[in-house]
Structure 1
Amino acid sequence: MSDLQRKLGKAKLKSAMGDNSLKEVDENEDGDQLSELREVVDDDSSSASSASSTGTIIPSPRQKLFARPEGIPRGRSLEQIPWTTYFERELFLKPPAPAQTDTTPAATPSVEITYHAYLTSPVGKGPLFVMHHGAGSSGLSFAVLSSEIRKRLPNAGVLALDARGHGSTTITSPKPGSIDLSLHTLSTDLYNVIQAAKTQMAWPELPPIILVGHSLGGAVVTDLASRGSLGPSLLGYAVLDVVEGSAMDALQSMQTYLSSRPAGFASLKDAIEWHVRSRTIRNAVSARTSVPGLLSDDGGNPTKPWVWKTDLAATQPFWEDWFVGLSKKFLGARGGKMLLLAGTDRLDTELTIGQMQGKYALQVFPEAGHFIHEDLPEKTAVALVDFHKRNDRSALVLPPKVSDLLAQGKRV
């Protein structure tokens, strides 16, 4: 900047602002260099927004305006969000007592299980979305999704269970360390939880039900739907990011994934941060809710006491049982069907043909990872609510029966 330009600029400012207002500028002026501004810290707790500031912030040359963010932005909370933010209550449920027969040995040791589930009750004749999580996860995986569903369908209820060996469901077995995680057992557990919730909540009958399952949970809800044990209460079922072909292929690399996963964490914050940084869960709010349900603080390592509740490596004997025949059962079971995927490459041949024949609804969210419902809870909620509306029988008005018209003396 030349001396002439500087003098002209000062003259204009003096005429508008007066001489005293420029003294500080003159004292701090050092050639053409601007004094460096102190770094502005983004504080989410502040009610003031930088966008609403009346001043203009001039960045220093050292500030990287266009650098890509590294991991979690500073100032963002990684504190746990309690389950009470999303659900009305938690339930501790017992399965129905098995029928005693003459052939049942009196001293046969049995497995005792107490199911744990989260519930927001339906209102009036509203539907009940029954959620089953994937392997290694918990019912809190659906927490944020449940609130998004209720925003769009206020009379809906959500029931999300912790499967055996997961979350806060407890089990005692005569053979410690061995838990039956076969598909038939898991789908029976899901049925028992629905019936036990009905009893405990004193519902006169089961509400209209939409089953929703993610990954392993998709196989479980499909198996329960194919058994027909829910009768006319079942409106339909939705499967999130699992199909038989790709699931069987993924099992080959499962051990590699498990070996690369941290064995423990120093704190829940560290665990939440790892899930977000690794993009296992791409939504920090959902991670703050669901990740604490995956861990317990009874690890033997004092530096990393938070360890996984579920030993996924120990479930390997059941992996093929979960997914073999899934596509056939998904297409053949009664009720509305919807498949939500993170990519069309996951479709196998049988499902591709079924989709072309219009046997089920398909939605693809390519911007999501494997945990579609956690990464994109709003979009998933919209899809599920629309799915319910398409299968809601209460909105149907059926014509009168011919026999009823004849009994009333009307012509047919």
Structure 2
Amino acid sequence: MSELQRAWARSKLGLPGDGFHEANEEEEHDQVAELPEHVDDDSSSASSVSSTGTIIPSPNQKLFARPQGVTRGRSLEQIPWTTYFERELYLSPEEKPGVTYHAYLTSPGAKGPLFVMHHGAGSSGLSFAVVGSEVRKGLPAAGVLSVDCRGHGSTVCPEGSDLDLRLDTLSADLNSIIELTKAEMHWQELPPIVLVGHSLGGAVVTDLAKTGKLGTSLLAYAVLDVVEGSAMDALQSMQTYLSTRPGGFASLQDGIDWHIRTRTIRNAVSARSSVPALLVLDEAADAARPWRWRTNLAATQPFWEDWFVGLSKKFLEGRGGKLLLLAGTDRLDTELTIGQMQGKYALQVFPEAGHFIHEDLPERTAISLVDFYRRNDRSTLVLPPKVSDLLAQGKKV
């Protein structure tokens, strides 16, 4: 016991200066001494005295016991899509018989933007469920349209046809979904659009932005964790990665748990929202693991290079504001590094996130997207008056 503690104890117990010794201290460590009465003293010295000692609780007091009624472990229950979106759409283009696009929609408010979101390979529109909800918290007038790419989610292609995942096809699909949504919702014109794409989706939104098909409706586009150089390098090890994934799961909860344990998705709420759409119950499969992957990623290999070749150049050349969100600066290739130094696009890095930035850090991703929209919002621009108008008003120029 320190000299300061002994002095305090003597004054509290009324003992003379030599009446309190170390030998009188309690030696039994399985007992907790009675705490002194609280003294209402705001002085720093009083608080310092009361905090000089460390009280070690005895094991039989169970101070850290789990309260009764608290569930052990984390919840792995599915979170339904209705938590995040107001409706789901099934859209059938006349020029593509047998194709039915599926998408999730929350309509924008008056003059609000529409964030059109395209997921990566193997994912679904629910990959953007949580981040879309967070975007609307920061920008309540915003709408969110999150699509299921063909061969993914609930989008249906003609039976017996070969899977066509060429970049041109996916880009045309996304444009069709936007136009069909406009017709379905009876919008007079398209709202201001911000395209957002993750991985493969980043290549798709970049290609659509480069084509100019959306005209003046397109404000800007954001690409999440994909650049040409690193994407091409990663393709070399993709088959190895796919071979390490389990072929199926005993239940949806097992699938959610695997994504969290392997840190494929580092946010449990995101995993509970998006993973169930990645799996489908296959009664003909192994009875021990009947929940199989909805999309056969290995079968998409013939299209991998087509997705990413020329991506950096297209990203820099497309019209509209540009945002690149990465999980690490090491992903930047030479072309994008030069472009970033020239100020051709905005760059933000989240080193604590994995590949699924928007699912790992939905709140921070949403803040970046909302700020990005506000920087590119044309309705807030105040243009200077024209010289001809000033002259007509008789003002000197």
Alpha-carbon contact 1:42-1:74 (below 8 Å) kept: no
Name the counterpart of 1:78: 76
Residue 222, structure 1, aligned to residue 206, structure 2: yes
Residue 359, structure 1, aligned to residue 344, structure 2: yes
Residue 370, structure 1, aligned to residue 370, structure 2: no
Name the counterpart of 1:120: 106
Structure-2 separation of matches of 1:135 and 1:74 = 34
Alpha-carbon contact 1:42-1:75 (below 8 Å) kept: no
Structure 1 residue 263: Cα displacement: 0.4
Structure-2 separation of matches of 1:255 and 1:211 = 29
Tell me, what secondary structure is at the counterpart of 1:112? coil
> How is 1:120-159 mapped onto 2 (pairs within 5 angstroms)?
120-159=106-145
Name the counterpart of 1:381: 366
> How is 1:208-287 mapped onto 2 (pairs within 5 angstroms)?
208-287=192-271
Structure-2 separation of matches of 1:42 and 1:404 = 74
Residue 306, structure 1, aligned to residue 291, structure 2: yes
Structure 1 residue 42: Cα displacement: 6.3
Name the counterpart of 2:382: 397
Structure-2 separation of matches of 1:322 and 1:121 = 30
RMSD (Å) for aligned C-alpha atoms: 2.7
Structure 1 residue 173: Cα displacement: 4.2
Name the counterpart of 2:66: 41
Alpha-carbon contact 1:164-1:171 (below 8 Å) kept: yes
Structure 1, 232-241 or 297-306: larger mean CA deviation = 297-306
Q: Which amino acid aligns with 1:273?
A: D
Instruction: Give the direction of change, closer, same or farther, for the CA distance of 1:7–1:167 in structure 2 (3 Å limit).
Output: closer
Name the counterpart of 1:60: none
Aligned length: 353
Return 5+ residue gaps in structure 1 as ranges.
17-31, 47-72, 99-109
Name the counterpart of 1:323: 308
Structure-2 separation of matches of 1:145 and 1:403 = 47
Structure 1 residue 111: Cα displacement: 5.1
Tell me, what secondary structure is at the counterpart of 1:345? helix
Residue 202, structure 1, aligned to residue 186, structure 2: yes
Residue 333, structure 1, aligned to residue 333, structure 2: no
Structure-2 separation of matches of 1:306 and 1:388 = 39
Name the counterpart of 1:92: 90
Alpha-carbon contact 1:138-1:161 (below 8 Å) kept: yes
Instruction: Give the direction of change, closer, same or farther, for the CA distance of 1:161–1:8 in structure 2 (3 Å limit).
Output: closer
Name the counterpart of 1:183: 167
Q: Which amino acid aligns with 1:93?
A: L
TM-score, normalization: structure 2?
Answer: 0.83
Alpha-carbon contact 1:111-1:173 (below 8 Å) kept: no
Per-residue CA shift, 1:219-267, capped at 9, x if unaligned? 0000000000000010010000000000000000000000000100000
Instruction: Give the direction of change, closer, same or farther, for the CA distance of 1:402–1:42 in structure 2 (3 Å limit).
Output: farther
Structure 1 residue 298: Cα displacement: 1.7
Structure 1 residue 112: Cα displacement: 1.5
Name the counterpart of 1:55: none
Alpha-carbon contact 1:225-1:333 (below 8 Å) kept: yes
Structure-1 separation of matches of 2:223 and 2:334 = 17
Structure-1 separation of matches of 2:27 and 2:302 = 83
Structure-1 separation of matches of 2:286 and 2:63 = 42
Q: Which amino acid aligns with 1:378?
A: E
Q: Which amino acid aligns with 2:313?
A: K
The percentage of aligned residue pairs carrying the same residue is 71
